[in-house]
Structure 1
Amino acid sequence: MESNTLFPVFLKLEELHTVLIGAGAVGHEKLCALLLNSPASRITIVSVQISEEVTQLAAQYPAVTLLQKQYEAADLAAADIVIASTNDASLNGQIRNDAHQLKLLVNVADQPALCDFYLGSIVQKGQLKIAISTNGQSPTMAKRLKEVLQGYLPDELETSLEQLNALRNSLEGDFKNKVAKLNAATAVLVESVPEKDNKPNFKWLVWLSIVFSLGILLTVFWFKEPEFRVYITEVDPVFYWFLIGGFIFAMVDGSIGMSYGVTSTAFSLSMGIGPAAASMAVHLSEILSNGIAGWMHYRMGNINWKLFRLLIVPGILGAVFGAYLLSSLEHYNAYTKVLVSIYTLILGWVILSKAFKTRKMKSREKIKKIRLLGLFGGFIDAVGGGGWGSIVLSSLIAGGRSPRFSLGTVKITRFFIAMMSSLTFVTMLNWTNWEAVLGLVIGSALAAPIAARVSNKISVKTIMVAVGAIVILVSLRSIILIIMKQF
Structure 2
Amino acid sequence: MRKLLLLALVGLGAQLVDGSLGMAYGVTSTTLLLAIGTNPAAASATVHLAEIGTTLVSGLSHWRFGNVDWKVVLKIGVPGAVGAFAGATFLSSISTETAAPLMAIILLTLGLYVFLRFTFQGLPKGQLGKPLRKRFLAPLGVVAGFVDSTGGGGWGPVGTPAILASGRLEPRKTIGSIDTSEFLVAIAASIGFIIGIGSENIDFGWVAALLIGGVIAAPIAAWLVRHIPPRVLGAAVGGVIILTNSRSLLRSDWIDASDGVRYSIYAVIYVAWAAALVYAFSQYRRNRDEEQQIIAEAEAAAAAGETPDEKASTPA
Report if TM-score (shorter chain) is over 0.5. Answer: yes
**Match status 1:410 vs 2:178:** yes
Cα gap change, 1:303 to 1:469, in 2 (>3 Å):
closer
Aligned to 2:308: none
1:472 shift after superposition: 5.8
Aligned to 2:54: 289
Q: Distance in 2 between matches of 1:271 and 1:337?
A: 20
SS where residue 158 of structure 2 aligns?
A: helix
Q: Distance in 2 between matches of 1:309 and 1:473?
A: 32
Aligned to 1:456: 226
SS where residue 225 of structure 2 aligns?
A: coil
Counterparts of 1:76-475 in structure 2, within 5 Å, are: 235=1, 237-329=2-94, 336=95, 338=97, 353=112, 356-359=115-118, 360=121, 361=124, 364=127, 367-368=132-133, 369=135, 370-399=137-166, 400-429=168-197, 430-458=200-228, 460=233, 461=235, 465=239, 469=243
Counterparts of 1:16-31 in structure 2, within 5 Å, are: none
1:447 shift after superposition: 0.8
Report if aligned partners of 2:114, 2:161 keep a CA contact under 8 Å in 1: no
Cα gap change, 1:358 to 1:432, in 2 (>3 Å):
closer
SS where residue 169 of structure 2 aligns?
A: coil
Matched residue pairs, number?
A: 238
Q: Distance in 1 between matches of 2:102 and 2:153?
A: 10
Aligned to 2:264: none
- Structure 2 length as normaliser, TM-score? 0.63
Deviations 1:178-237 (A, max 9, x none): xxxxxxxxxxxxxxxxxxxxxxxxxxxxxxxxxxxxxxxxxxxxxxxxxxxxxxxxx3x3
- Structure 1 length as normaliser, TM-score? 0.43
Identical aligned residues as a percent:
33
Task: Return structure 1 stretches of 4+ with deviation > 6 angstroms.
Answer: 474-479
1:349 shift after superposition: 5.0
1:347 shift after superposition: 8.3
Q: Distance in 1 between matches of 2:206 and 2:29?
A: 10
Specify every segment of 5 or more residues in structure 2 that has no aligned partner in the other structure, as ranges.
254-316
Specify every segment of 5 or more residues in structure 1 that has no aligned partner in the other structure, as ranges.
1-234, 330-335, 480-487
1:422 shift after superposition: 0.9
1:350 shift after superposition: 6.1
Q: Distance in 1 between matches of 2:162 and 2:244?
A: 23
Report if aligned partners of 1:318, 1:375 keep a CA contact under 8 Å in 2: yes
Cα gap change, 1:257 to 1:317, in 2 (>3 Å):
same
Aligned to 1:4: none
Flag the structure with higher helix content: 2
What amino acid sits opposite 2:224 in the alignment? V
Flag the structure with higher strand content: 1
Q: Distance in 1 between matches of 2:180 and 2:106?
A: 22
Report the structure number with the largest CA radius of gyration.
1
Aligned to 1:58: none
1:406 shift after superposition: 2.5
Report if aligned partners of 2:46, 2:202 keep a CA contact under 8 Å in 1: no
Report if aligned partners of 1:327, 1:425 keep a CA contact under 8 Å in 2: no
SS where residue 443 of structure 1 aligns?
A: helix
Cα gap change, 1:376 to 1:243, in 2 (>3 Å):
same
Q: Distance in 1 between matches of 2:192 and 2:11?
A: 22
1:270 shift after superposition: 2.6
What amino acid sits opposite 1:373 in the alignment? L
Cα gap change, 1:263 to 1:345, in 2 (>3 Å):
farther
